[in-house]
């Protein structure tokens, strides 16, 4: 059984997406998987998001709050970060590990429980591949809705190895979904959701990201 499967918990009836559990184990696994570069990668994502002091940020699929805490350091003073995740266990872990500008709640990406234009920046990392393909556009549309004109979004996803052997190895360590993450489609699906893509790139060792703006 892939190691990643051990962290999949009880199904959240609010979404057909995959729900991860065991937040402490997830953090240990992620530290190993990023080869000691996790902090550097996610600190860079926080900067790439365009978040500034005073901004209101929403992190969708926040997991244990790892990116949210780095975003909080960018938006202080005066800013705030809200994180939502379908897993109550992940949200509890995020609450235990965070303080200050971060708040967390159980929620699903395809039905965000926030008002129109409630945030200046929306981020999402390593979440989109957990959703069935038919819900990914809906999740991006919700991110679009909670941003005002000029609001910014950053989506980061696992970049599978190029070789078939490498992809199978990644699936053996994580989950089979990780073989086919939608990195090539990030900018097209952002455009379909009404965003104007701004920049994209890769962060060593495993991340591809795309940034966009709501017109």
Distance CA 145, CA 162 (A): 34
CATH number at residue 125: 3.40.50.150
**Predicted local confidence at residue 171, as pLDDT:** 56
How many domains, the chain? 1
Domain that holds residue 76: 3-213
**Predicted local confidence at residue 6, as pLDDT:** 40
* Residues 96 and 69 sit within 8 Å (Cβ to Cβ): no
| Sequence-ordered list of residues with C-beta below 8 angstroms from that of 130, at least 6 positions apart, any chain | 17, 18, 19, 20, 61, 177
- Indicate if the alpha-carbon torsion angle 127, 139, 112, 193 is positive or negative: positive
Do the strands 196-203 and 207-213 form a parallel or antiparallel pair, or are they unpaired?
Answer: antiparallel
Predicted TM-score (pTM) of the model is: 0.83
Distance CA 56, CA 175 (A): 33
**Predicted local confidence at residue 176, as pLDDT:** 52
Mean pLDDT by 10 residues, the chain (215 residues): 44 54 70 85 98 98 97 96 96 91 96 98 94 93 98 93 54 54 85 96 93 98
């Amino acid at each position: 059984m892939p190691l990643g499967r051990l962290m999949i918990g009880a199904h959240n009836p609010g979404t057909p997406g995959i729900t991860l559990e065991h937040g402490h184990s997830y953090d240990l696994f992620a530290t190993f998987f990023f080869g000691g570069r996790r902090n550097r990668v996610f600190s860079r994502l926080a900067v790439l998001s365009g978040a500034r002091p005073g901004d209101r940020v929403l992190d969708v699929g926040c997991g244990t709050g790892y990116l949210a805490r780095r975003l909080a350091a960018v938006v202080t003073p005066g800013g705030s970060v809200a994180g939502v995740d379908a897993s109550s266990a992940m949200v509890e872990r995020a609450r235990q590990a965070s303080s200050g500008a971060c708040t967390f709640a159980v929620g699903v990406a395809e039905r965000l429980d926030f008002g129109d234009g409630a945030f200046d920046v929306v981020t999402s990392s390593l979440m989109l591949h957990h959703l069935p393909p038919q819900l990914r556009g809906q999740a991006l549309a919700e991110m679009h809705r909670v941003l005002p004109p000029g609001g910014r979004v950053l989506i980061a996803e696992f970049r599978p190895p190029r070789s078939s052997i490498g992809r199978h190895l990644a699936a053996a360590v994580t989950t089979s979904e990780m073989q086919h993450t939608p990195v090539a489609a990030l900018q097209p699906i952002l455009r379909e959701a009404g965003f104007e893509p701004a920049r994209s790139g890769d962060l060593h060792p495993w991340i591809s990201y795309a940034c966009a703006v709501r017109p």
